[in-house]
Amino acid sequence: MAEVRYERATRIYPGTDAPAVAALDLRISDGELLVLVGPSGSGKTTALRMLAGLEEVDGGAIHIGERDVTDDPPKARDVAMVFQNYALYPYLSVAANIAFPLKIAGVKKAERERRVHEAATMLGLTEYLERKPGQLSGGQRQRVAMGRAIVRDASVFLMDEPLSNLDAKLRVQMRADIAALQSRLGVTTVYVTHDQSEAMTLGHRVAVLHNGHLQQCDAPRVLYDRPANRFVAGFIGSPAMNFLDVPLGENGSVSLGGVDVPLPDDVRAASSAGGWSDLVVGVRPESLELAPEGISAEVQVVEDIGADAYVFCVTTIGGVERKLVARSSARRAPERGARVALRPVAGEAHLFDPISGARLG
């Protein structure tokens, strides 16, 4: 078990200009489950492969425990990786697949059997040990791949979208299994996904990447409640946060649908120093209410999800058409085509710098 540190770790692929991972600073505590999340191409796999030793580090350093492993080969790093395409050996039994890394490492047969049995018990695979991968379901195959990582007793687990081949229901189940297993084993784990809801439910902390740059690394609750910038605010949460460019009033405040959004002093100061004419206001769907008065909008789609409904609306602000999503109780949701008024819940709006997108206040 070990702490993992990226110190301004950078990867620039040959023939490209922009780094795939740019000066990444990240510290993962011993026993922590950290999720790396971001859109496609944001550098998640590259960051993971740098840690595994499968990708060169062009700048900065990577530490595992006390050791600087930046120039160490993969074998010397004591990490176990589970890939999206978990590539089991089709002609080997489940037991032999799980035992494979131990065999390579020259572990004796009796010890191999003991560890395979232990991993299989943990993963609920004991009754399948003699089967071939082709005789297993997708979820069972995924567990075999996990087993292959577990038996190695590595100090760090790396997982790159390990559940993306599974259907939605199984994914949710396996997610819970992985969380339970990780906490039981207490092995430092870096888990990559592009799915923000998977990141939020699984990670002790979540690191958000965008274009190779770390945007924020925090507990899921903090990412949701206090996103560091507009990118994180829009990426975390579903449906996404609503953003509106709102003109700054004469008194230096902004008003949205008749609700005044008070500006903290430092925001006022920044806005007058920057000479801004407007601010970006972010409102989550659950912080946008259907009210007797507010922003006038037309309902385009109502998505009923059981107790709640998401009401997708369109409005015109300053001559520009804008889409807004509000959450309502499903039983009181308006009809498609209805005219409604939307009002942000006081005190629940987020403010962002109109130029840099950084959080204000």
Ligand X SMILES: Nc1ncnc2c1ncn2[C@@H]1O[C@H](COP(=O)(O)OP(=O)(O)OP(=O)(O)O)[C@@H](O)[C@H]1O
Residue 45 is a binding residue for Mg ion (CB under 5 A): yes
**Do residues 196 and 238 touch, judged by C-beta distance below 8 A?**
yes
Residue 171 as a binder of ligand X (CB under 6 A): the answer is no
Positive or negative: CA dihedral 165, 169, 173, 178: positive
Strand-by-strand arrangement of the 156-160 sheet: 79-82, 156-160, 188-193, 33-37, 205-210, 213-218
User: Which is closer to ligand X, CB of 57 or CB of 95?
Assistant: 57
Contacts 24+ apart (CB under 8 A), 331-338: 332/290, 333/302, 333/304, 333/309, 334/290, 334/299, 334/302, 335/299, 335/302, 336/299, 336/300, 336/301, 336/302, 337/298, 337/299, 338/298, 338/299
Q: φ, ψ for residue 255 (rounded to 5)?
A: -130, 135
Strands 21-28 and 288-304: unpaired
For position 16 contacting ligand X by CB under 6 A, the verdict is: yes
- For position 215 contacting Mg ion by CB under 5 A, the verdict is no
237 binds ligand X (CB under 6 A): no
Q: Round to whole Å and give the CA distance between 191 and 220.
A: 14
Binding segment (CB under 6 A) for ligand X, from list 42-50, 101-109, 136-144, 297-305: 42-50
Closer residue to ligand X (CB): 25 or 304 = 25
Stretch that binds ligand X, among 41-49, 85-93, 290-298, 342-350 (CB under 6 A): 41-49
Q: Which stretch binds ligand X (CB under 6 A): 13-21, 22-30, 240-248, 277-285?
A: 13-21
CB within 8 Å of 234: residues ≥ 6 apart: 240, 241, 243, 282
| 193, interface contact from Mg ion, ligand X, none, CB < 5-8 Å by kind | none
Contact with ligand X (CB under 6 A) among 28, 32, 34, 44: 44
Q: Give the shortest CB-354-to-ligand X separation in angstroms.
A: 28
The only residue of 2, 24, 45, 64 in contact with ligand X, by rule CB under 6 A: 45
Residue of the chain from 194, 205, 343, 359 that contacts ligand X (CB under 6 A): 194
Residue 269-308 contact track with Mg ion, rule CB under 5 A, x = bound: ----------------------------------------
45 or 315, CB closer to Mg ion? 45
- For residue 114, give the nearest of 140, 136, 95 by alpha carbon: 95
Cβ 326 to Mg ion, closest distance in Å?
34
CB 163, min distance to ligand X, A: 13
Cα 188 → chain centroid: 17
Concatenated DSSP letters of 71-118 = T--GGGG-EEEE-SS----TTS-HHHHHHHHHHHTT--HHHHHHHHHH
Q: Which stretch binds ligand X (CB under 6 A): 40-48, 108-116, 277-285, 313-321?
A: 40-48
3-state secondary structure of 156: strand
Size of the site for ligand X (CB under 6 A): 12
Q: Which does 40 bind (CB under 5 to 8 A by kind): Mg ion, ligand X, none?
A: ligand X
Interface ranges with Mg ion (CB under 5 A): 45
Interface ranges with ligand X (CB under 6 A): 13, 16, 20, 38, 40-46, 194
